[in-house]
Amino acid sequence: MQTTENKGLLILFYFCIAVFSIVCLVPFVLAVSGSLSTESRIAAEGYSFWPRGFTLETYQFLFGSKAEQIVRAYSMSVLVTVLGTASAVLVTTAYAYVVSVKSFRFRNVFAFFAYFTMLFSGGTLPWYLLSTKYYHLDDKLIGLFVPYLLSVFLMFLMTNYFRSIPHEIVESAEIDGAGHLRIFFSIMIPLGRVGLVTISLFYALQFWNDFYLPLMLVTDQELYTIQYLMYNMMANIQFLASGNAAQVGGAIIAPPLETAKMAMTCLTVLPIAILYPFLQRFFVKGIIVGSVKG
Amino acid sequence: MTKKKGWFSLLLTASFLLSACSQGNNESANGGNGNAGAASPSAESGIEAGGGLAPAKLKIVLYGDESNRMKELAKTEFYDVVKEEINAEVEFQFLPWTEYAGGKTDLMLSTGEDFATYTDANYMVKSVAKGLYTDLTPYVDAAADLSSNVDEASFKAFQLDGKQYAVPVGNKPNSAEFYSVLVRQDLLEEVGMTEVTSLAQLEQFYDKAHAAHPELVGYAGVDARRMLLYDYTDKNLYWQNEFIALDEAKQDDQIISWFETEEFKNYANLMHGWYEKGIIPKYAATNTPQLQSDWNSGKAMFWAGTAARPFEGAATISQAVPDAKLVNYFLGEGRPKISRGTYSTAFFVSAAAKDPERYVMFFNLLQKNQELYDLFAYGIEGTDFTLDENGRLTKLTTDALIPDWLLMNKNFIRFDNTVPDEFIAEYKAWDEGAIISKGAGFNFDNTPVKNEETKLNGVLTEYMAPIGSGFVDYETAYPKALDRLKAAGIDKYIAEYQKQFSEWYAGQQ
Amino acid sequence: MMQEATPVKPDGRIAKTRVSKTRSFEKSLQRDGSLYLLALPGIVILILFAYLPMSGLILVFKNYNFNDGIFGSPWAGFSNFEFFFSSMEDAMRATRNTVMLNVLYMATGTFFSVAIAIILNELRSKWFVKITQSVMFFPYFISWIIIGAILFSLLDYDKGIMNQMFTALGLGQVDWYSSPWLFVIVMVLANIWKSAGYGAIIYYSVLQGIDTSFYEAARIDGASRWQIITKITVPMLIPSIILMSLLNIGGMLKGDLSMVMGVTFLNPLLLPTTDIIDVYVYRTAIRSGEFGFASAITLYQSVFGFILVLVANKLAGWYDKDSKLF
3-state class of B395 per DSSP? strand
3-state class of C206 per DSSP? helix
In chain A, what residues touch B306 (CB-CB under 8 Å)? 246, 250
Pairing of strands B393-395, B435-436: unpaired
Q: Which of residues 135-154 of A touch C (CB under 8 A)?
A: 135, 146-147, 149-150, 153
In chain C, what residues touch A91 (CB-CB under 8 Å)? 41-42, 45
pLDDT for res C28: 58
- Share of residues in chain C with pLDDT > 90 (%): 47
Q: Could you say which of B107, B289, B320 has the minimum Cβ distance to residue A124?
A: B107
Which residue of chain C comes nearest to B463, CA vs CA? C268
Residue B388 in this model has a pLDDT that exceeds 80: yes
Q: Does A169 touch chain C (CB under 8 A)?
A: no
Asked if the Cβ–Cβ distance from C271 to B455 is below 8 Å, we say: no
Phi, psi (degrees; rounded to nearest 5) at B303:
-150, 170
Residue C325 in this model has a pLDDT that exceeds 90: no
Q: Under a CB-based contact definition with an 8 Å cutoff, are residues B129 and B155 in contact? A: no
- Is residue A143 very low, low, confident or very high in pLDDT (cuts 50, 70, 90)? very high
> What is the average pLDDT across A246-266?
62
In chain B, what residues touch A34 (CB-CB under 8 Å)? none
- Is residue B273 very low, low, confident or very high in pLDDT (cuts 50, 70, 90)? very high
Residue B314 in this model has a pLDDT that exceeds 80: no
Asked if the Cβ–Cβ distance from B455 to C268 is below 8 Å, we say: no
Kindly state the helix (H) or strand (E) to which residue B346 belongs, with its residue range: strand B345-349
Pairing of strands B345-349, B116-119: antiparallel
pLDDT, one tens digit per residue, over B402-439 is 988 889 898 998 888 878 888 888 888 999 989 999 99
**Alpha-carbon span B64 to C324, nearest angstrom:** 48
Q: Could you say which of C3, C59, C142 has the minimum Cβ distance to residue A125?
A: C59
Q: Under a CB-based contact definition with an 8 Å cutoff, are residues A170 and A101 in contact? A: no
For residue B5, is it left (φ>0), alpha (ψ between -120 and 50) or beta? alpha
Asked if the Cβ–Cβ distance from B405 to A257 is below 8 Å, we say: no
Asked if the Cβ–Cβ distance from A250 to B306 is below 8 Å, we say: yes
Q: Could you say which of B107, B292, B308 has the minimum Cβ distance to residue A128?
A: B107
CA-based nearest distance C27→chain A, Å: 10
Q: Which residues of C touch B (CB under 8 A)?
A: 64-67, 79, 82-83, 86-87, 90, 152, 156-158, 177-178, 264-269, 271, 275, 280, 283-291, 293
In chain C, what residues touch A101 (CB-CB under 8 Å)? 35
pLDDT for res B51: 58
Q: Under a CB-based contact definition with an 8 Å cutoff, are residues B96 and A232 in contact? A: yes
pLDDT for res A49: 81
**Alpha-carbon span B303 to B324, nearest angstrom:** 14
Q: Could you say which of A9, A27, A194 has the minimum Cβ distance to residue C150?
A: A27
**Alpha-carbon span A155 to A158, nearest angstrom:** 5
pLDDT for res B9: 42
Asked if the Cβ–Cβ distance from B453 to C288 is below 8 Å, we say: yes
Phi, psi (degrees; rounded to nearest 5) at B88:
-125, 145
**Alpha-carbon span B381 to B375, nearest angstrom:** 8
pLDDT for res C140: 85
Residue C17 in this model has a pLDDT that exceeds 80: no
How high does pLDDT run on average in chain C? 86
pLDDT for res C310: 95
**Alpha-carbon span A14 to B303, nearest angstrom:** 53
Q: Does A132 touch chain B (CB under 8 A)?
A: yes
How high does pLDDT run on average in chain A? 84
Phi, psi (degrees; rounded to nearest 5) at B180:
-105, 165
Distance spanning both ends of chain A, measured CA to CA: 50
The per-residue DSSP string of B452-485 comes to HHHHHHHHIIIIIHHHHTTSS-HHHHHHHHHHHH
Asked if the Cβ–Cβ distance from C39 to A112 is below 8 Å, we say: no
Q: Which of residues 218-277 of B touch A (CB under 8 A)?
A: none
Which residue of chain C comes nearest to B106, CA vs CA? C291
Q: Return the number of other C-beta atoms located less than 10 Å from residue A256's C-beta.
A: 28
Residue B81 in this model has a pLDDT that exceeds 90: yes
CA-based nearest distance A66→chain C, Å: 23
**Alpha-carbon span B384 to C273, nearest angstrom:** 53
- Is residue C21 very low, low, confident or very high in pLDDT (cuts 50, 70, 90)? very low
- Is residue B509 very low, low, confident or very high in pLDDT (cuts 50, 70, 90)? confident
CA distances from C35 to A92, A146, B303 (A): 13, 22, 68
pLDDT for res C26: 62
Residue C7 in this model has a pLDDT that exceeds 80: no
The one-character DSSP state at B347 is E
Angle of CA points B175, B181, B184, to nearest 5° = 130
3-state class of C106 per DSSP? helix
CA-based nearest distance C147→chain B, Å: 13
Helix segments in B175-287, DSSP class H: 185-190, 199-212, 229-232, 262-277
- Is residue C133 very low, low, confident or very high in pLDDT (cuts 50, 70, 90)? confident
pLDDT for res B416: 82
Q: Could you say which of A132, A232, A245 has the minimum Cβ distance to residue B65?
A: A232
**Alpha-carbon span B496 to B445, nearest angstrom:** 9
Residue B28 in this model has a pLDDT that exceeds 90: no
**Helix axes C180-208 and C126-141, enclosed angle (nearest 10):** 140
3-state class of A71 per DSSP? helix
Kindly state the helix (H) or strand (E) to which residue B88 belongs, with its residue range: strand B88-95
Pairing of strands B116-119, B159-160: unpaired
How high does pLDDT run on average in chain B? 87
Q: Does C212 touch chain A (CB under 8 A)?
A: no
pLDDT for res B268: 97
pLDDT for res B329: 95
pLDDT for res A168: 86
In chain C, what residues touch B294 (CB-CB under 8 Å)? none
User: Which one of A2, A17, A29, A267 would you mutate to disrupt binding with C, by most C Cβ within 10 Å of its Cβ?
Assistant: A17
Phi, psi (degrees; rounded to nearest 5) at B237:
-80, 140
3-state class of A140 per DSSP? coil
Going by C-alpha positions, the residue among C246, C249, C236 that lies closest to residue C302 is C249
Kindly state the helix (H) or strand (E) to which residue B245 belongs, with its residue range: strand B244-247
Task: Give the dihedral of Cα atoms B376, B378, B383, B389; nearest 10 deg.
Answer: -130
User: Which one of A9, A10, A13, A100 would you mutate to disrupt binding with C, by most C Cβ within 10 Å of its Cβ?
Assistant: A13
Q: Under a CB-based contact definition with an 8 Å cutoff, are residues C231 and C218 in contact? A: yes
How many CA atoms lie within 13 Å of A214's alpha carbon, on the beta-carbon side?
A: 25
Tell me which of A203-207, B179-183, C18-22 is least confident.
C18-22
Residue C22 in this model has a pLDDT that exceeds 80: no
> What is the average pLDDT across A121-145?
93
CA-based nearest distance B312→chain A, Å: 5
Tell me which of A28-32, A205-209, B245-249, C164-168 is least confident.
A28-32
Asked if the Cβ–Cβ distance from A113 to C206 is below 8 Å, we say: no
Going by C-alpha positions, the residue among B419, B335, B339, B409 that lies closest to residue B174 is B339
Asked if the Cβ–Cβ distance from A249 to B96 is below 8 Å, we say: no
Task: Give the dihedral of Cα atoms B199, B201, B207, B208; nearest 10 deg.
Answer: -160
Neighbours of chain A (3+ CB pairs under 8 A): B, C
Q: Does B111 touch chain A (CB under 8 A)?
A: yes
The one-character DSSP state at C210 is S
Buried b or exposed e, range A169-194, using 16+ CB within 10 angstroms: ebbebbeeebebbebbbbbbbbbbbb
Q: What share of chain A is helix, strand, coil (3-state, %, to 5)?
A: 80, 0, 20
Q: Could you say which of B104, B215, B289 has the minimum Cβ distance to residue A216?
A: B104
Task: Give the dihedral of Cα atoms C274, C277, C280, C286; nearest 10 deg.
Answer: -140
Asked if the Cβ–Cβ distance from A129 to B111 is below 8 Å, we say: yes
3-state class of A36 per DSSP? coil
The one-character DSSP state at B67 is P
Going by C-alpha positions, the residue among C98, C190, C185 that lies closest to residue C140 is C190
Write out the E strands in B42-85.
56-63
**Alpha-carbon span A131 to A146, nearest angstrom:** 10
The one-character DSSP state at B283 is G
Kindly state the helix (H) or strand (E) to which residue B95 belongs, with its residue range: strand B88-95
Q: Under a CB-based contact definition with an 8 Å cutoff, are residues B114 and B354 in contact? A: yes
Asked if the Cβ–Cβ distance from A9 to C54 is below 8 Å, we say: no
Q: Could you say which of C64, C90, C152 has the minimum Cβ distance to residue B458?
A: C90
Output the CA torsion sign for C253, C258, C263, C268. positive
Burial of B279 (0-12, 13-18, 19+ CB in 10 A): buried
Which residue of chain C comes nearest to B282, CA vs CA? C157
Going by C-alpha positions, the residue among B161, B353, A129 that lies closest to residue C64 is A129
3-state class of B436 per DSSP? strand
Residue B245 in this model has a pLDDT that exceeds 90: yes
Phi, psi (degrees; rounded to nearest 5) at B58:
-125, 140
pLDDT, one tens digit per residue, over C88-108 is 889 999 999 999 999 999 999
CA-based nearest distance B125→chain C, Å: 11
Going by C-alpha positions, the residue among B85, B75, B77 that lies closest to residue B55 is B85
Residue C237 in this model has a pLDDT that exceeds 70: yes
Q: Which of residues 148-207 of C touch A (CB under 8 A)?
A: 149-150, 153, 156, 159, 193, 196-197, 201-202, 205-206
CA-based nearest distance B24→chain A, Å: 32
**Alpha-carbon span A111 to A99, nearest angstrom:** 6
pLDDT for res A63: 75
Q: At A11, which amino acid appears?
A: I
Residue B46 in this model has a pLDDT that exceeds 60: no
> What is the average pLDDT across B281-291?
85
pLDDT, one tens digit per residue, over B330-340 is 999 889 999 98
Going by C-alpha positions, the residue among B462, B451, B443 that lies closest to residue B489 is B451
Going by C-alpha positions, the residue among B336, B411, B398, B322 that lies closest to residue B371 is B411
**Alpha-carbon span B100 to B118, nearest angstrom:** 9
pLDDT, one tens digit per residue, over C49-70 is 999 999 889 889 988 888 888 8
For residue B96, is it left (φ>0), alpha (ψ between -120 and 50) or beta? beta
Asked if the Cβ–Cβ distance from A131 to C49 is below 8 Å, we say: yes
In chain B, what residues touch A247 (CB-CB under 8 Å)? 120
Q: Return the number of other C-beta atoms located less than 10 Å from residue B421's C-beta.
A: 10
Number of H helices, E strands in chain C: 15, 0
Pairing of strands B393-395, B237-239: unpaired
